[in-house]
A and B are shown apart, each in its own frame.
Chain A
Amino acid sequence: MHRAPEAEWAIRTRGLSKAYGSVQVLAGLDLQVRRGSVFALLGPNGAGKTTTVRILATLTRADAGQATVAGHDVLTARSQVRRAISLTGQYAALDEEQTGLENLRMMARLRGLPRAASRDRAQELLERFALTDAGHRRVSTYSGGMRRRLDIAAGLVSDPEVVFLDEPTTGLDPRSRRTMWETVGSLTQAGVTVFLTTQYLEEADQLADRVAVLDGGRVRAQGTPEELKKTVTAQRLDLTMAGRAAYTQLAGRLGGRVLHQSPEELVLGVATDGSAAHVRALLDELDPTREQVARFAVHNATLDDVFLELTHE
């Protein structure tokens, strides 16, 4: 990889490890995030995404390893790190019974802005996040998407260098998700570095300049979305077999190629790029007699498929 001088990195970690009791959540995590880029940490539930974010945001201590954020060590220069970052956690951290405006003003005051400047800053952020009309309503009346936007706005009162977004779209409806993607896109125009976590390949693909896949406490794969997609499956072909014997026989033949299996429903899933030609070729290959496969369906691959494929390589 191309070597960049220290100043180019917004985040660097080496060998980060963290265990909770007997659960080894992180086992030597190495990451480099370039200044001004959008970086996505991709991983299923429980992979350690939140743990990673909390360590980088100085909220939790790693058991071993080093991390610098905006050039400051997360252990020895905690206050400098905190001044340079903003954190929007997986769950909205807002006061439900304060209005949107009051929440933002409070955050601005806590960041040390004077009273009048705080009010202006809050108004400005409400406008930027299309919340001006809702600014005088209590947050408890907001939709999930509005809450998320306000939550991100709350992190921006003090022009942070690095913005952490932990699963910013989990639980949002498709339209709010799209709005959120635009919001994240607009952050980088101001030169901010965005570190986000997600469970969705598609989201990482949409937003990130670089993606790291987190599994088993380590980075399993890392690169641009394009590079990553070449190494993993985009789609999955699920075959419903005609009978138990056909199921057992094909499962044996496929071996490590099986991405998904459901013996009760006689379903086996394999990787495909989703094109008609590939699906036809797979059906011909796996069921030459045209008697063993009863039905088929093509799904977007889930992260589990990606991991299975990555770990089978």
Chain B
Amino acid sequence: MSDLTAYPVLAGRSIRLTRRNLDAVLTALVLPVMLMLVFVYFFGGAIETSTGKYVTYVAPGVLILCAGYGASMTATTVSNDMTNGIIDRFRSMDTSPTAVLTGHVAASVARNAVATSAVLAVAFAIGFRPQAGPAGWLAASGILLLYITTLSWLGAAAGLLAKTPEAAGGFTFAMLFLPYPSSAFVPIDTMPDWLHGFSDNQPVTPVIESLRGLLLDQPAGNSPWLALAWCLGLLAVTLPVCGALFRRRIG
């Protein structure tokens, strides 16, 4: 019916559902903070980077990693809606399916915003000192937001594709794995040669390099443009794919 009210109403719904799901809160908040501490204190001593303290190098990487966890949950929440019958009620009420999916993506972005703040706070407490001015922060936030939105829509597509919410969670494995063979945690030139080609040219690397460059006020080269191109390109593919998957799903 009045589609425009459906968007905020369904975003509010998804955010409420996220808040009340203990697993989701723990995964979105506690896990990234734990990962931060593990990387810095367990692995940090063994890893040499050009930025001095390892926490300075790895903090942006952990932000990326936790975006993956937060966004991958979208797959589960979307799949839940598709399997438990509520989508039929929404459809019989003439509520637009796009509004339902957008609600889940909005909740994912909100979840990630909170997680990102928590990780930054902890990072700051253990010695992370970003050098960015307001423009740098704004640009970094923008890129991170776009990255999270892209991953969330990919998660939504996985949720539409999977037959069960459990399977949907499994589909998002790639999202959680991609940061490892990138420059998120260790510089690429320390990786085996055969990995370089992949690591240099996968979407996570330009995102992480732009975050690092912008936050530490170092030259970021063309990374921000590459990151932008990757995210917008993926979105341009994922959105129509979501539409097609939804139509296929409802037969």
Where the two chains meet, the residues of A that have a C-beta atom closer than 8 Å to any C-beta of B are: 54, 57-60, 78-79, 82-83, 85-87, 89, 91-95, 97-98, 102, 106-107, 109-112, 138, 154-155
B92/A97 in contact, CB under 8 A: no
Q: How far is the CA of A83 from the CA of B93 in the complex (A)?
A: 7
Contact residues in B for A58 (Cβ distance below 8 Å): 91-92
A87/B5 in contact, CB under 8 A: no
**B18 — nearest CB in chain A belongs to which residue?**
A97
Instruction: Give the secondary structure class of B's interface.
Output: helix
Q: How far is the CA of A280 from the CA of B105 in the complex (A)?
A: 70
Most chain-A Cβ atoms within 10 A of its Cβ — which of B20, B90, B94?
A: B94
Contact residues in A for B175 (Cβ distance below 8 Å): none
Interface size for B (C-beta < 8 A) is: 24
Q: How far is the CA of A154 from the CA of B92 in the complex (A)?
A: 12
Q: How far is the CA of A89 from the CA of B92 in the complex (A)?
A: 10
Within the complex, which residue of A78, A85, A86, A109 is in contact with B5, where a contact is CB–CB below 8 Å? Answer: A109
Nearest-neighbour CB distance to chain B for A80, whole angstroms, equals 10
**B94 — nearest CB in chain A belongs to which residue?**
A82
Most chain-B Cβ atoms within 10 A of its Cβ — which of A89, A95, A102, A138?
A: A95
B88/A97 in contact, CB under 8 A: no
Pairs of residues from A and B, 9 with the lowest C-beta to C-beta distance, nearest first: A93-B89, A82-B94, A87-B92, A93-B85, A97-B20, A93-B86, A109-B9, A112-B1, A91-B85
B2/A154 in contact, CB under 8 A: no
B93/A93 in contact, CB under 8 A: no
Nearest-neighbour CB distance to chain B for A38, whole angstroms, equals 20
A98/B17 in contact, CB under 8 A: yes
B21/A93 in contact, CB under 8 A: no
Q: How far is the CA of A54 from the CA of B85 in the complex (A)?
A: 12
Within the complex, which residue of A85, A89, A95, A155 is in contact with B13, where a contact is CB–CB below 8 Å? Answer: A95
Q: How far is the CA of A78 from the CA of B1 in the complex (A)?
A: 12
B92/A110 in contact, CB under 8 A: no
Q: How far is the CA of A31 from the CA of B84 in the complex (A)?
A: 29
Q: How far is the CA of A86 from the CA of B9 in the complex (A)?
A: 19
Within the complex, which residue of B5, B84, B94 is in contact with A93, where a contact is CB–CB below 8 Å? Answer: B84
Within the complex, which residue of B5, B21, B85 is in contact with A89, where a contact is CB–CB below 8 Å? Answer: B85
**B90 — nearest CB in chain A belongs to which residue?**
A110
The answer to whether the Cβ of B251 comes within 8 Å of any Cβ in the partner chain is: yes
Given the contacts A87-B89, A89-B89, A110 and B17 also touching, CB distance less than 8 Å:
no
